[in-house]
Amino acid sequence: MHKLFVISFFLIGSFTLLSCESFTPITGAMGQNSSPSVNSVPSTSEINTGLKAALEKATDISAKKLGSKDGYLNNLDVKILFPEEAKNIESTLRSLGLGSMVDQVITSVNRAAEDAATSAIPIFTTAIKQMTITDVKNILLGDKNAATTYFSETTSPLLTAEFSPIIDASLKKTDATKYWSDVMTRYNKVPFVKKVDTDLTSYVTKKAIDGLFVEIAKEELKIRGNISERTSPILQKVFGYADKEGK
């Protein structure tokens, strides 16, 4: 009887020890579900790395999206239409039954913008690498479009220089230049209308770049406002810190 008691006591004790060993990691994991590093203040190095990673992702996604077929044409936020000074041209020609000619122009100029879009990626990459830590902190804790504004101010001249020859070549390749010339010729023959002479390459280049910043602003807003877009611990930590700072 005494032996049976000892054996039972030993088995119960062993089971208890095994149970503790088995459940301790689980309990610990549940109790520390949020890593202390994610909730702490990020270092300067982490802010620099995290924000730049987010900006590279945002600019890459935006440029590739717009660079795909119909990236501009089927996106109402960035679709390139007739210039403001030529709005009367579009309505006049459509009223004369020349809507297909107008549509050819619109399609071809958007195709030209799509051809140029991905060439923006290395320009943004260089701009991101050249950011100072002051730039990085100002963007992180700035307005919700602070990164987009920064890119607009620092890369627009380079983007114009890069886009312009690509768009010019594409406008010729897609016959946009010809269509535009045909449209202008037909319109300028309409009695009593004000003659219009728009530089098509300059106009499409500007609108293509404007559209790029529209898409970057969307991506920036996503990562600032949507926690699920923060796909790595460092992004969670850096933008979590920005959230706490009230931005």
Q: Convert the pLDDT of each residue in 122-181 to its tens digit.
A: 999 999 999 999 999 999 999 999 999 999 999 999 999 999 999 999 998 888 888 888
When computed from its CA atoms, the radius of gyration of the chain, rounded to whole angstroms, is: 29
Q: For residue range 176-215, list pLDDT tens digits in order.
A: 888 888 887 877 777 766 766 678 899 999 999 999 999 9
Q: For residue range 9-66, list pLDDT tens digits in order.
A: 444 444 443 344 443 332 332 233 344 355 678 999 999 999 999 999 999 999 999 9
Nearest to 186 by CA among 125, 59, 98: 98
Give the domain ranges of the chain. Answer: 43-244
CA 234 – CA 238 distance, rounded (Å):
6
CA 146 – CA 58 distance, rounded (Å):
13
Q: Do the beta carbons of residue 78 and residue 24 sit within 8 Å?
A: no
Q: ∠ at Cα 243 (241, 246), nearest 5°?
A: 115
CA 159 – CA 56 distance, rounded (Å):
16
Spacing of C-alpha 220 from chain mean position: 6
